[in-house]
Amino acid sequence: MDQITNSKANKAASPIGDFKIFATEGQARTGRLQTAHGAVETPIFMPVGTKATVKGMTPEELTGMGAQIILGNTYHLHLRPGEDVIAELGGLHKFMNWHGPILTDSGGFQVFSLSDLNKVTEEGVEFRSHIDGSKSFLSPEKSMQIQTALGADIVMAFDECLPHPSTREKIIESMAMTKRWLVRSRQALTRKESLLFGIVQGGLDLELRMKSLEDVTGVDLPGYALGGFSVGEPIHLMHELVKVVGPQMPKEKPRYLMGVGTPLDLILCVDAGIDMFDCVMPTRVARNGNLYTWQGRVSIKRTEYRTDPSPLDPECECYTCKNYSKAYLRHLFLSAEILSARLNTIHNLHFYLDLMAKARAAIREGRWAKFRDFCLTRFIKT
């Protein structure tokens, strides 16, 4: 069993930022990262709470299904309700009643993906809000200011995230900007309780990825992330690149793959030495009636489930699977009932968190290769 991550004993056990590896098999590894709000057992999936909520879930439900750390979004929280409001109300943990660790992204990805009009300069990015069109500005300094006001345990350096495809020239130019912005992010972060992670870019070019890795890890930080994936590239190219780059990231620091992905993605990337993951996929597809199970992906809207009395996944111990049939879940979805989104989200998040818990146990017990191969046979078509 994993240790209880938010206990007072764990908070006092190691200094903030301490990362210990307990077991390895091949490149896969399991360890623990200490934060100001408790320890995080890795490998771990982090549910995404973009606007200070993991959609449809209470903090108590997340804790009950094994969530250790969640994400908040700098861009969205800056625009609404504003970091000053959250700080005045006691910080993001108190605001959303989440007592475990929180990671906040820098806002860079949203600036480039949600804003039709943005102007990038050396100073930062001027953009129009996707809410009301008003002008806003984000820079490394502003991003650190916002994340500090939110009180995040792990904060991400401000970087430029390019779409796929981008030209080699543009990628090289962006990498240089990201490196300069990383230095400014570190200089601007004054909150000792917040752990700053740098972000490796470089597109799908292995040479450029390795150059960005060298640049970013040249700045001594508590952890490092791979960014710029899940932006439209063929997924097999991401798998191939992470398999090479992941093991080259510093062994003594946590490795975070941003915005990825499916259960298959997680298993392949744990096998490449990645420790931390986040993605909106399990909650987003749940609301569309798509569910991940140990038998593969299920579209609950299908006619074949109309009178099916069986649970969604007989191998799952989540609340949804223990209490409801496929027929009922299909009925809720087709009726557009709010409970449909709730029950589907409960299952998908439980599945992801359980997958990572089983991965941790397999690595500790020296049976990772067997577990990995078992998962591949289940997930390869989903």
Q: Which residues are catalytic?
A: 105, 278
Nearest of 242, 252, 244, 245 to residue 221 by alpha carbon: 252
Residues in contact with 367: Cβ distance below 8 Å, sequence separation at least 6, in sequence order: none
Q: How far apart are CA 380 and CA 358, in angstroms?
A: 18
User: What amino acid is encoded at 271 in this protein?
Assistant: D
Nearest of 128, 136, 134, 186 to residue 159 by alpha carbon: 186
Does an H or E element contain 240, and which?
Answer: helix 235-245
Supply 206's token pair. Answer: 């292995």
Q: How far apart are CA 136 and CA 127, in angstroms?
A: 5
Angle at the Cα of 80 from the Cα atoms of 153 and 160, rounded to 5 degrees: 60
Does an H or E element contain 264, and which?
Answer: helix 263-270
Give the 3-state secondary structure of residue 148: helix
Let me know: does 70 contact 47? Beta carbons within 8 Å.
yes
Q: Quick one: how far is CA 292 from the chain centroid?
A: 17
Give the 3-state secondary structure of residue 45: strand
- Please give the backbone phi and psi of residue 191, each rounded to the nearest 5 degrees, phi first: -85, 110
**Which residues, in sequence order, are bridge partners of residue 29?**
24
Q: How far apart are CA 225 and CA 242, in angstroms?
A: 11
Alpha helices of 50-192 — where are they, by DSSP H? Answer: 59-64, 74-79, 83-88, 92-96, 108-114, 140-150, 168-188
